[in-house]
Amino acid sequence: MTSSRPSRQTIRPARADEAAALIAFWARAGENDARPADTEGAIRRLLERDADALVVAEWDERIVGSLIVGWDGWRFHLYRLAVGPEVRRSGVAHRLIAYAEKRARQVGAGRIDAMVLEGNEQGAAFWDAAGFRPQGEWRRWIRTAPYEG
């Protein structure tokens, strides 16, 4: 963790022109394991569809955290929570979650879920401390979707 607090801390929606910076941040924050490679185009498509779906924490104009907040009209999904190693345990993740919860209230979400990779003990401990519990009866099933364009 850095020794001095930044003069400006912001939680805000990401911008499409930050796609490359976000990919670099995720690689540095260790948030790219066990998933297909990210692309700038995928980030831009997400933000075109929902400009508020990707939230960043910024300290003095430097991205130090991120969270994807998906809303399907019924449930509110939180995933890709990442915090830079140099600022962990400084409250960044909790501020990102508070921002997401405010948005969930605004859209009328009845449930919020967080996606955590199996074996991610640090992530599981964080979500547990934030009041989330595993839902053992569900298992996620995936496949690669065809994409044209």
Q: What is the DSSP string of 116-135?
A: --TT-HHHHHHHHHTT----
Instruction: For residue 4, name the pLDDT band (cuts at 50, 70, 90).
Output: low
Domain that holds residue 89: 9-129
Residue 145 lies in a domain: no
Residue 95 lies in a domain: yes
Residue 65 lies in a domain: yes
| pLDDT score recorded for residue 3 | 46
Average pLDDT on 113-140 reads 86
Residue 147 lies in a domain: no
Residue 134 lies in a domain: no
**89 pLDDT higher than 80:** yes
User: Which of 11-15, 84-88, 142-146 tops mean pLDDT?
Assistant: 11-15
Residue 1 lies in a domain: no
Residue 102 lies in a domain: yes
> Mean pLDDT in the chain?
87
**CATH number of the domain that 120 lies in?**
3.40.630.30
| pLDDT score recorded for residue 31 | 62
Q: Which amino acid is at 77?
A: H
Q: How long a stretch of residues is the chain? A: 149
**18 pLDDT higher than 50:** yes
Tens of pLDDT along 39-54? Answer: 899 999 999 999 999 9
| pLDDT score recorded for residue 33 | 59
Give the chain's domain count. 1
11, 82, 16, 6: which is closest to 44 by C-alpha?
Answer: 16
Tens of pLDDT along 119-131? Answer: 888 888 999 999 9
Residue 136 lies in a domain: no
